[in-house]
Amino acid sequence: MNKLNWLKPQWSMLPIIVFLGGWELVVRFGLIPGNLLLPPFTTVFQEFYRLIANGVLVDNFLRSLVRVLIGFSTGSFAGILMGIMMGLDERTNKAFHPILSLLYPIPALGWLPILMLWIGIGELLPIAIIFICSFFPILYNTITGIKTVNRDSIRTAEILGASRIKILKTIILPLALPNIFTGLRLEAGMAWRVIIAAEMVAIPTGIGALLMRAESLIRVDIIIVCLIVLSVMCLSFEKFFIYMEHRLTGKWR
Amino acid sequence: MPTIELRNISNFICRNINLKISGGELLVLLGPTGAGKTTLLNIISGLTLYEGSILFDDEPIDKIPVSRRGIGYLFQDLALFPHLDVRSNIIYGLLIKKLGQDQIEARLDEMCNLLSIRHLMGRYPKDLSGGERQRVAVARAIAPSPRILLLDEPFNNLDIKTRKYLRLEFKRILKGLGLTTIFVTHDFKEAEEMGDRLAVIDSGKLEQVATPQEIFFSPNGDKVANFLGSPNIFDCDNYEALGNGLVKASCEGLTIITVWEGGKLNKIAISPEDIYVSRNEPLGPPINRYKGTIIEEISLNSVVTIKIKTTSKDILVRMRKEDFIAESLTVGSDVFFILPLRNLKGV
């Protein structure tokens, strides 16, 4: 029965189909006011196919994807690690909290000029920006997650004979997971938004750079293709973490 | 099971506490909120710093860390691990002790039978009722065979009916296991039902250690008496058996019928909140019904304490303010009061 589920009408797709149909009709029948440069949807779709066929989109997409994956995973790992240390040990928290509180409010893109001067324009620059963008929110979510673990649960494990490492592995981290996942979920989408901005400003390759080139050539169809790719990637990353969170914590929450 | 001895225990709350608990005894630590009951449990378990010495079977354990003291501790909120199912919660301590799979299964089976929780194994704490959570938490605490069990007001969040049922059941289980247990509560009725002996603590100081009866009839000072609610205690001159376990006693000018199957009846006591007061003469046979006049009234929040003058002794009664108003009671009112048979205690 489940195998036939895909045959059932997917009603959530209906508004999208109506929107795309409306878009196509409005442009084809010249109902757009003023001189708005908007190609019909079918033209955008054709361009999407052409960009995939000639490898331009795939090449730029993969460059952006690799940068996001490296920056996001290292930034998240560092954020979780630092968060664990600060969440567990009050002295470490007190030592680092004032500095991190000062750095946290700076928008990730605010670091761009100084990073350009420090590490130059190259592959490392967008990765560093994504690292910064991911690190701080995940750090704070991890600290919150660890600090909100019921103190009596930790004491109970201790009384039952568990070592500090065992308590961390079996009690603290699993119970801090919901908070850590909130950070990962929010920042996974944010990483794509930031990489596009960084590539638009400073890097000659990637989806952001393709967007800028399309703008200078007045290729609205390519711009729209890039925006759709960006939207799908933001959504996919967020959905992935929602799925993982549900898998790991759904049973007991 | 070990004998526990506390010698000159002090810290930021507790003051010079000396206490000896026999092996297999169920001692109830009784006291008002903030008296230092939980702190004392934390001291015994090693969770809080202290001065003085704790001995298990005459061996000091002060230098032994929390994880190796061999203690079972039930916190007020039970602290079940929410991310582990019931089975994993119970075997957590057994896995840490590195027991073999066969031993773990055998111990788990024992816990399931003892606490009737076999049907809960695959469930998570969020899916358990209050009573089920208590059972699972107790199973987890006693599964690793601790040397001593500490229970910190474990029935606090339960309804009265479940609470009463569970404490009787737990008492039976703990007595069956012969486990040395310290049970913390602020409720005298609960303490009376659970404990072999009670230790009354107030402001970090141990005020009295005795049987429930001794504490109720001979409270050691005003602090203990006030905490118990200043019970009305009547000295009895003589009594005669009426059969069926009832006696008619003459106590300070009042003729009181009570349930008594012991030896000599010396005193009868009743808590002020257990006395029924009415402006009109109550219906029914004239047993344990008396007349008096209200001579004092003290209102505190929603509770009114009144003193009733009788021909012999003044009686203290505590009642809800709304009942006091509904009965149109004031100082100077002539009233009837009943000492309900089942609320009277004898010694």
Do B106 and B196 fall into the same domain? yes
Nearest CB to B82: which of A155, A170, A252? A252
Do B218 and B277 fall into the same domain? no
Do B258 and B176 fall into the same domain? no
Residue A162: its chain B contacts at CB < 8 A? 67, 92, 96
Residue-wise pLDDT tens digits, A137-181: 999 999 999 999 999 999 999 999 999 999 999 999 999 999 999
Do B302 and B158 fall into the same domain? no
Closest CA to A68 of A221, A236, A224: A236
Closest CA to A76 of A228, A158, A185, A153: A185
Q: Is B183 helix (H, G, I), strand (E, B) or coil?
A: strand
Do B52 and B102 fall into the same domain? yes
Which domain-ending residue is among B227, B262, B294?
Answer: B227
Residue B71: its chain A contacts at CB < 8 A? 159
Residue B68: its chain A contacts at CB < 8 A? 161
Asked if residue B300 has pLDDT above 90, the reply is no
Cross-strand bridge partners of residue B316: B307
Do B246 and B181 fall into the same domain? no
Pair B11, A125: CB distance under 8 Å: no
Residue B124: its chain A contacts at CB < 8 A? 251-252
Hey, what are A82's tokens?
């630092």
Q: What is the domain class of A45-249 according to CATH?
A: mainly alpha
CATH number at residue B253: 2.40.50.100
pLDDT, position A5: 63
| Pairing verdict, β B26-30 and B197-202 | parallel
Identify the helix (H) or strand (E) that includes residue B19: strand B17-21
Average pLDDT over residues A52-57: 94
Range of the domain at B87: 4-227
* Structural domain spans, chain A: 45-249
Q: Does A150 touch chain B (CB under 8 A)?
A: yes
Instruction: Mark yes or no for CB contact B126/A252 under 8 Å.
Output: yes
Is 0.90 exceeded by the ipTM? Answer: no
Count of domains forming chain B:
2
Asked if residue A10 has pLDDT above 80, the reply is no
Instruction: Mark yes or no for CB contact B93/A253 under 8 Å.
Output: no
Q: What residue spans of chain A are helical by DSSP H?
A: 14-28, 41-53, 56-88, 90-103, 112-119, 124-147, 151-159, 164-167, 173-201, 207-216, 220-249
Instruction: Mark yes or no for CB contact B81/A157 under 8 Å.
Output: yes
How far apart CA B343 and CA A71 sit, in angstroms, is 73
Asked if residue A8 has pLDDT above 80, the reply is no
Instruction: Mark yes or no for CB contact A159/B83 under 8 Å.
Output: no
Instruction: Mark yes or no for CB contact A159/B140 under 8 Å.
Output: no
| Pairing verdict, β B148-152 and B180-185 | parallel
Nearest CB to B66: which of A159, A252, A253? A159
How far apart CA A154 and CA A173 sit, in angstroms, is 11
- Within 10 angstroms of residue A12's Cβ, the number of other Cβ atoms is 7
CATH number at residue B41: 3.40.50.300
Q: Is B56 helix (H, G, I), strand (E, B) or coil?
A: strand
Q: What percent of chain A has pLDDT over 70?
A: 96
Instruction: Mark yes or no for CB contact A156/B79 under 8 Å.
Output: yes
Residue A220 to residues A18, A196, A215, B247, Cα–Cα distance (Å)? 21, 17, 7, 102
Q: Does A159 touch chain B (CB under 8 A)?
A: yes
CA distance to partner chain A, nearest, from residue B92 (Å): 8
Do B105 and B160 fall into the same domain? yes
- A32 or B105, higher pLDDT: B105
Which domain-ending residue is among B179, B194, B227?
Answer: B227
Which of A154, A156, A168 has the most B C-beta neighbours within 10 Å, making it the best mutation to test the interface with B?
A156
Indicate the average pLDDT of chain A: 91
Which domain-ending residue is among B207, B227, B247?
Answer: B227
Hey, what are A12's tokens?
């959530």
Q: Does A101 touch chain B (CB under 8 A)?
A: no
Which range is least confidently modeled, A31-40, A102-111, B246-255?
A: A31-40
Nearest CB to A162: which of B45, B67, B71? B67
Do B119 and B195 fall into the same domain? yes
Which of A149, A150, A155, A160 has the most B C-beta neighbours within 10 Å, making it the best mutation to test the interface with B?
A160
Average pLDDT over residues A36-64: 93
Do B192 and B297 fall into the same domain? no
Do B262 and B332 fall into the same domain? yes
Do B200 and B58 fall into the same domain? yes
Do B241 and B220 fall into the same domain? no
